[in-house]
Amino acid sequence: MPYRSPLSELRFHLDHVAGLSQVAATPRFAEATPDTVGAVLSEAARLCDEVLAPLNRSGDLHPAKLENGVVRTSPGFAEGYRAIAEGGWVGLSADSRWGGAGLPLTVATAVNDMMSGACLALQLNPLLTQGQIEALSRHGSPDLQTFYLPKLTSGDWSGIMALTEPQAGSDVGALTTRAEPDGNGAFRITGEKIFISWADNDFTENVSHAVLARLPGAAPGTKGISLFVVPKYLPNGDGTSGEANALRVLKLEHKMGLHGSPTAVLAYEGAKGWLVGPPHGGMACMFTMMNNARLGVGVQGIGIAEAAFQAALDWATTRRQGGAGAIVEHADVRRMLAQMKADLFAARAIALDCAVALDMAQATSDPAWAARAAVLTPIAKAFGTDVGHEVAQAGIQLHGGMGFIEETGAAQYARDVRVTSIYEGTNGIQALDLVGRKLSDGGEAVGRLLDEVEDAAARARADLPDLAGPVWRAAESLREATDWLLDHPADRGAGAAPYLRAFARVLGGRAHLRAAMAGDGARRRLAAFYARRCLPEVPGLLAQARDGAEAVLAVTPADLSS
Amino acid sequence: MPYRSPLSELRFHLDHVAGLSQVAATPRFAEATPDTVGAVLSEAARLCDEVLAPLNRSGDLHPAKLENGVVRTSPGFAEGYRAIAEGGWVGLSADSRWGGAGLPLTVATAVNDMMSGACLALQLNPLLTQGQIEALSRHGSPDLQTFYLPKLTSGDWSGIMALTEPQAGSDVGALTTRAEPDGNGAFRITGEKIFISWADNDFTENVSHAVLARLPGAAPGTKGISLFVVPKYLPNGDGTSGEANALRVLKLEHKMGLHGSPTAVLAYEGAKGWLVGPPHGGMACMFTMMNNARLGVGVQGIGIAEAAFQAALDWATTRRQGGAGAIVEHADVRRMLAQMKADLFAARAIALDCAVALDMAQATSDPAWAARAAVLTPIAKAFGTDVGHEVAQAGIQLHGGMGFIEETGAAQYARDVRVTSIYEGTNGIQALDLVGRKLSDGGEAVGRLLDEVEDAAARARADLPDLAGPVWRAAESLREATDWLLDHPADRGAGAAPYLRAFARVLGGRAHLRAAMAGDGARRRLAAFYARRCLPEVPGLLAQARDGAEAVLAVTPADLSS
């Protein structure tokens, strides 16, 4: 069964759950009229269904290869990429000064959702470029912006991130790549980077590497890191690509999935680069790029969940077992499918809420919106990718023996999505970010968000008591757990992961409530399922979140190996 | 880091948790003295660590192949298999009349655990033979037994199961393979079977297929199914293998994992076979084979959980991030490892409890033991394989980016173990078995088991109040949920999966309690972790189990596709 972009579902989210209308009501995004957005989404859906989805299996069966130092991408990927670039999809939310469409990130998020479901391995390429556009727009010098942004926005060049080193993964402060001034305003970059997604390709004119490195005399740790752009080909004065820069792809990794996306070990051997942002200010630049990418990765999980759910539902409604009808008639199968759909709905709503907050922060400069986005980003990333993993795994399970056979495609979704819980900060790191940095305002931003959830539940109480009550109670217990974590900073790490999950459950509850208020019987029944089958997880999760570090750390490394 | 068989951990389980001593106290198993068992386990561990574990990656990288109709197994597998057969491991719990060692299944289960962790793909082969030995021992005619059992027990022949057909998976009653009497006491089998694990190999003299088929005039559904043995080579009168039987391997599947185990589509083209058990009595024979295999598959999950845990722990104690020490020092990483170990312990204890019940049933002929085994089998299968999946996935996560790279090995564990939640009855089918057939005694067997759990908790209350209290309360709420399900038969299917999970959590609680009573501080700390971090899941699970079918079935197929 071919993937079909969930166009009407996304329209429902934008119109009735995420509230794109408030974004479109700002002068900044006045062009995002319902007609324009509708046309954009329909055109994106056509691209996804007709051009990208047919490439997905090819990427898995014919991984990108390294031949004599040159990356050869999977069959059809070059054509697929050109369709993305020529359609203007890379720069959908980029500034019109650089040739972008200037639409809200919320709309770009819906498009990325569809593209992820169609062909995750290829979609990762423009997603990374979008992160670099964001970073250069915020932190690049006017010269860098004028030179790079039009090429990245058009997709003529792609942009990648080179952060990780063998000894510096989650601990980015441990990196050792060096940057030496060349005396002409540029720098010479030397070091080795690993796990570099789309480090190279054979379909863009040039590849702009965003590289973290240390200037001479830089402080140790994250305070001594600077960001550079390092192009694969050194640009000529006229903007054309000139001679090759001193960097090499040393190898491509053999991965569990996402075979169509080349993941490289890169060597910078005195490669020429240019500073982005102030010296030693690389972390702030990286977080601009990374926060954007974190939301984008959460959306990757959601796109795969959509694709895996479609395939599982198709199987369940056509596969007959047990005499009577299709297996969807069995209660346990129905339960699994309802859970998949309810979780997918919740994860998508959280991601779009996060995108709306980012758009509103940009449109209004109100710091409350930025703080809202900051809280939602780790939840959108971790829950979106967890749901992607869980739905894809449930998809395998629903297919029975066929799920384990590669031809079915269910296994590929599960293998491809697996890395999304890891890259751009593991989901454990997201949880630590949530209970750490994102509570560092004393819980103010979280408190405001929970106020809104409780207000929504209170307003819905008369109409939908069976939904509103559980959502309100879950939000209130999350508030109590938040207060507990605020009072027990040393216990936050041990409770971070279940706290994030409970937070996502509460936000999912609000989203289902909104859907039930605005939607038809189907929305109400799915929301009721969520309230009765998903929200009951919350007390157990919060009991873990508030249990403290003692029982966890009491299990010593020696205990673990005994 | 190479796999190391968990010898002392298994000894602790047998001596202090599962209670092998009560099995050894029966006349039937009097030979299972501590010295004998210790020597057997040590020898098995040597085989696993030195011979089988080194084959694991080879099986993944060099899948079994079909060449001109002949299966070529992965490099080294033939030698590995010979070491298993020559060591007498296939027939470890088989009757000494047929050359078996006659040891308790409990001991064989511990050995299978180690072998699964060492090389799951190869271990599946003798596991299937053990199921066929069991079926023939119980249901075969004296002639069949005399002829087949010595060859299967020695491992000279392997035994496989051919049940599934394209239209008959979980619904075995839909199968259409035909068996026609040949007038000389044998039958001609015609039909196609799919998903046949180890359908063929290039290292045993012969392969005995246990095939489900229909006799002429058989009733429709499961009541018209009979079991046959169909050898790959027709045996000569002297027991040697003669001409090829009329069966063919049509193709091998391209699977997500377990590449070393050939999974075939088989055609029987008038193949000669012999009836096992009475005509139309195939389901009873199948369940003998299958119940044994279900426990065995649960143990496969446990073996993989052990191997994945070892690898993750090694990584976490050597990988440094975040300045200070190894990542095991981070609370969230410690939490994940403690959860992996605590769940592994619980799953292993449940499997060994099930094996003890089967041994006691055999040794005492007390139907209460058989009923106990019947209750524990679906839990051991589903929870063992769920834990295998969860621990292997957590192992990937703990490795960070390295987890997604195939060379690390973490991904292989996750890919290999994935099918164990599906084959021998999906875990959904196990849950339905638990709430259906296994409650068909009015909950008597479950009630007796819960009495024991509560008694154990009550006895431990003085010593370990923080553990005993939560275990007792969880058992009591499980009892209430059981009563509810007994009163609401139409709601059982919709609550089956969370009910099974909650049941496993309660049994895991008893196991940790036993360990804490018998063990050192490390055992007590792990048990405390389990009580504080795993048991809190139970109320949420039981709320789902008791929620009924209404909210689930309210979400219609049309809702799902809207």
- CATH label of the domain that carries residue B211: 2.40.110.20
- Choose among B401, B431, B554: nearest Cβ to A164: B401
Instruction: Summarize pLDDT for A222-250 with one digit per residue, the tens.
Output: 999 999 999 999 988 887 889 999 999 99
Q: Do B400 and A418 touch (CB under 8 A)?
A: no
**Considering A280, A299, A326, which residue would you say is the last residue of a domain?**
A280
Model pLDDT, residue B26: 98
Q: Supply the pLDDT for residue B288.
A: 81
Q: Are residues B47 and B175 in the same domain?
A: no
Rounded distance between C-alpha atoms, residue A545 and residue A379, angstroms = 15
> Does the pLDDT at position A25 exceed 70?
yes
In the chain, the amino acid numbered A201 is N
Asked if residue A402 is part of any domain, the answer here is no
Which chain B residues are within 8 Å of A414, Cβ to Cβ? Answer: 256, 418
Dist CA A66 CA A262 (whole Å): 9
Sequential DSSP letters for B211-251: EEEB-TTPPSGGGG-EEEEEESEEEPTTSSEEEEPSEEEEE
Catalytic residues of B: 424
In a shared domain, residues B149 and B177: no
Distance to chain B for A221, nearest Cα, Å: 9
Instruction: Give dist(CA B13, CA B33) in Å, integer.
Output: 15
**Beta partners for residue A187, in sequence order:** A181, A273
In a domain, B361, yes or no: no
d(CA A414, nearest CA chain B) in Å: 10
DSSP 3-state assignment of B199?
coil
Report the residue of B552, B553, B556 to disrupt the A interface, i.e. the one with the largest count of A CBs within 10 Å. B552
> What residues in B contact A170, CB-CB < 8 Å?
321-322, 400
Residue A53 has pLDDT above 70, yes or no: yes
Residue among A333, A522, A559 minimizing CB distance to B522: A559
Last residue of a domain, one of A280, A312, A331: A280
Measured in angstroms, the CA of A170 and the nearest CA of chain B are apart by 7
How many CA atoms, within 13 angstroms, populate the side-chain half-sphere of residue B528?
Answer: 22
**Pick from B254, B331, B338: CB nearest A407:** B254
Residues of B in contact with A421 (CB under 8 A): 397
Residue of chain A whose alpha carbon sits nearest to that of B9: A562
C-alpha pair distances (Å), B502 with each of A84, A338, B505: 48, 20, 5
Set of chain B residues whose Cβ sits within 8 Å of the Cβ of A256: 396, 404-406, 411, 414-415
Which residues in chain A are closer than 8 Å to B423, comparing Cβ atoms?
401
Q: Does the ipTM surpass 0.90?
A: yes
Does a structural domain hold residue B75? yes
pLDDT of residue A324: 63
Do B116 and B165 lie in one domain? The reply is no
Q: What pLDDT is stored for residue B366 in this prediction?
A: 97
Q: Which amino acid is at A261?
A: S
d(CA B19, CA B521): 21
B235: in domain:
yes
Tell me B165's DSSP state. B
Min Cα distance B81 → chain A (Å) is 25
Number of residue pairs across A and B with CB atoms under 8 Å? 248
Nearest Cα residue to A170 out of A411, A401, A377, A433: A433
Q: How confident is the model at residue A172 (pLDDT cuts 50, 70, 90)?
A: confident
pLDDT one-digit tens code per residue, A413-448: 999 999 999 999 999 999 999 999 999 999 999 999
Task: Report the alpha-carbon distance of residue A380 to residue B508 in Å, rounded.
Answer: 33
Q: Which of A221, A331, A552 sits opposite B331 (nearest CB)?
A: A552
Residue in chain A nearest B418 by alpha carbon: A404
Contact B540 A539 (CB under 8 A): yes
Is residue A324 situated within a structural domain? Answer: no
Of the candidates A129, A128, A126, A133, the one whose C-alpha atom is nearest the C-alpha of residue A94 is: A133
Please give the residue of chain B at the shortest CA–CA distance from A412.
Answer: B256
Q: Whose CA is closest to A544, among B154, B530, B286, B244?
A: B530
Distance between CA atoms of residues B341 and A83, nearest Å: 49
Residues B35, B132: one domain?
A: yes
Mutation for B interface: A435, A533, A534, most B CBs within 10 A: A533
Separation between Cα atoms, residue B479 and residue A385, nearest integer Å: 36
The confidence score (pLDDT) of residue B323 equals 63
Spell out which residues of chain A touch residue B537, defining contact as CB-CB under 8 Å: 540
Q: Final residue of a domain: which of A241, A258, A280?
A: A280
* Chain A residues inside the 8 Å CB shell of B522: 555-556, 558-559, 562
Q: For an interface test with A, which of B310, B555, B561 has the most A Cβ atoms less than 10 Å from its Cβ? A: B555
Selecting from A194, A313, A533 the residue whose C-beta is nearest the C-beta of B560 gives A313
Q: Is B255–A221 a contact, with Cβ atoms under 8 angstroms apart?
A: no
* Region A306-332 average pLDDT: 90
Residues of chain A with Cβ-Cβ distance to B493 below 8 Å are: 330-332
Report which residue type is found at B117.
Answer: G
Count: domains in chain B? 3
Identify whether residues B76 and B110 lie together within a single domain: yes
C-alpha span between B468 and B503 (Å, rounded): 16
Q: Which stretches of chain B drop beneath a pLDDT of 50?
A: none
Q: Which residues of B touch A528 (CB under 8 A)?
A: 551, 554
- Cβ A551–B561 below 8 Å, yes or no? no
Closest residue on chain B to A402 (Cα): B195
Nearest to B259 by CA among B490, B60, B9: B60
Q: Are residues B124 and B141 in the same domain?
A: yes
Active site residues of A: 424
Query: How near does any CA of chain A get to the CA of B264, in Å?
Result: 11
Note whether B138 and B12 are same-domain residues.
Answer: yes
User: Does some domain include residue A134?
Assistant: no
Q: Tell if the CB–CB gap between B332 and A551 is shorter than 8 Å.
A: no
CA dist., res. B416 & res. B116, Å (int): 11
What is the percent of chain A with per-residue pLDDT over 90, rounded to a whole number?
A: 94
User: Cα-atom radius of gyration of chain A, to the nearest Å?
Assistant: 23
Residues B113 and B218 both lie in one domain: no
Q: Is A212 in contact with A163 (CB distance < 8 Å)?
A: yes
Disruptive mutation site among A552, A553, A556 for chain B (greatest number of B CBs within 10 Å): A552
Compute CA B74 distance to the chain's CA centroid, rounded to the nearest angstrom. Answer: 23
- Give the gap in angstroms from C-alpha B530 to the nearest C-alpha of chain A: 9
Distance from CA of B154 to the nearest CA of A (A): 30
A526 to B559: CB separation less than 8 angstroms, yes or no: yes
B7, B256, B339, B544: best mutation site toward chain A, by most A Cβ within 10 Å?
Answer: B256
- Looking at the fold, whether B121 and B33 belong to one and the same domain comes out as yes
- Minimal Cα–Cα distance from B559 to chain A, Å? 5
In a domain, A542, yes or no: yes
Specify whether the CB–CB gap between A55 and A119 falls below 8 A: yes
| Sign of the torsion angle spanned by Cα atoms A235, A236, A240, A242 | negative
Q: Which domain holds residue A238?
A: 159-280
pLDDT at residue A35 is higher than 80: yes
Domain membership of residue A381 (yes or no) is: no
CB contact under 8 A, A401 and B389: no
State residue B259's pLDDT score.
98
Whether residues B164 and B148 fall in one domain: no
Helices (H) and strands (E) in chain B, counts: 20, 11
What's the mean pLDDT when you consider all of chain A?
96
d(CA A404, CA A390): 15
- pLDDT exceeds cutoff 90 at A207: yes
pLDDT reported for residue B290: 81
The closest CB to that of A496, out of B332, B525, B552, belongs to: B332
User: Do both B191 and B53 map to the same domain?
Assistant: no
Chain B hits for A559, CB-CB cut-off 8 Å, are 521-522, 525-526
Q: Predicted confidence band at A288 (pLDDT cuts at 50, 70, 90)?
A: confident
What's residue B325's pLDDT?
Answer: 84
Query: Could A334 and B552 be called an inter-chain contact, meaning their C-beta atoms sit closer than 8 Å?
Result: yes
User: Does residue B88 share a domain with residue B214?
Assistant: no
Write the residue in B328, B422, B496 that is nearest to A401 by C-beta. Answer: B422
The answer to whether the CB atoms of B255 and A522 lie below 8 A apart is no
Nearest by Cα to A538 from A494, A502, A504, A512: A502
Scanning every residue of chain A, which has its alpha carbon at the shortest distance from the alpha carbon of B170?
A321
- Rounded to whole angstroms, the Cα distance separating B217 from B30 reads 47
Chain A residues with CB under 8 Å of B532 CB are 544, 547, 551
CATH number of the domain that residue B145 is part of = 1.10.540.10
Nearest CB to A400; choose among B170, B393, B552? B170
- Residues of chain B contacting residue A560, judged by C-beta atoms under 8 Å apart: 313, 328, 337-338, 341
**How far is Cα A194 from Cα B458, in angstroms, rounded to an integer?**
55
> What six digits make up the tokens of B330?
């981070």
